[in-house]
Amino acid sequence: QGSELSGWAMGRWTYEGIDLNHNFADLNTALWDAEDNDLVPHEFPNHYIPIPEYYTLTNATVAPETRAVIDWMQRYPFVLSANLHGGELVVTYPFDMTRSYWKAQELTPTADDGVFRWLATVYATSNLAMASEDRRLCHYDDFARHGNIINGANWHTVPGSMNDFSYLHTNCFEITVELSCDKFPHASELPAEWENNRESLLLYMEQVGTGTPG
């Protein structure tokens, strides 16, 4: 259809009708319920949270792609990750799901909010498109006013996100990078998109070693 004629939902669901961006186990609700009942950490963990039994059943609505990624994450102790999306220019960080389940938007920081904000800022400030003085709005939200970063839940709630799952199940710090205003850029635009993000990707990966002994 061409990049200008594709809607935001194009390509969002699998053939089976599953949105992979919302398909990971919701560990947030279990943690917050345990916190509200003073069960953390002596009776319920606040990290390495186990996957609920209902999610592992054979008839659970879990895509094979999601199961494969979870198996991969459990085999390797990743500490840093990034989800690459399109359609906006902003970096989001957990939590992605609002703590008040009825709210579509709500600031919902993690216990490591300072670290997440730093990681998001590293990417956003070195991204050529986000840092440009000619930075324009993609749609309606002026993310530049906030340094082109935002708490995911404070933008829109995403239950079952990979970011929240990575953080709560494996202790991996993961952000989402919205790479471009155009969700489906033309092939001729890809070299420029790569240049916009090349340094950001390198600097982001280098944060794994920041602050560690030499």
Domain residues of the chain, as ranges? Answer: 20-208
Determine which one of 4, 35, 53, 178 is catalytic.
Answer: 178
From the number of C-beta atoms within 10 Å of its C-beta (0-12, 13-18, 19+), residue 96 rates as buried
Local mean pLDDT, 10-residue blocks, the chain (214 residues): 66 90 96 97 95 93 96 96 93 98 96 97 96 88 94 96 97 96 88 96 91 44
For residue 73, the number of C-alpha atoms closer than 13 Å in the C-beta half-sphere is 24
Predicted model pTM: 0.92
**Helices and strands of the chain, counted as H and E runs:** 8, 4
Give every CB contact of residue 47 below 8 A, 6+ residues apart in sequence. Answer: 168, 171
Q: Determine the pLDDT at residue 10.
A: 77
Q: What is the pLDDT of residue 175?
A: 98
Report, at the CATH architecture level, how domain 20-208 is classified.
Answer: 3-Layer(aba) Sandwich (3.40)
| 178 classed as catalytic | yes
State the Cα–Cα distance between residues 79 and 72, nearest whole angstrom: 13
What's the confidence (pLDDT) of residue 209? 81
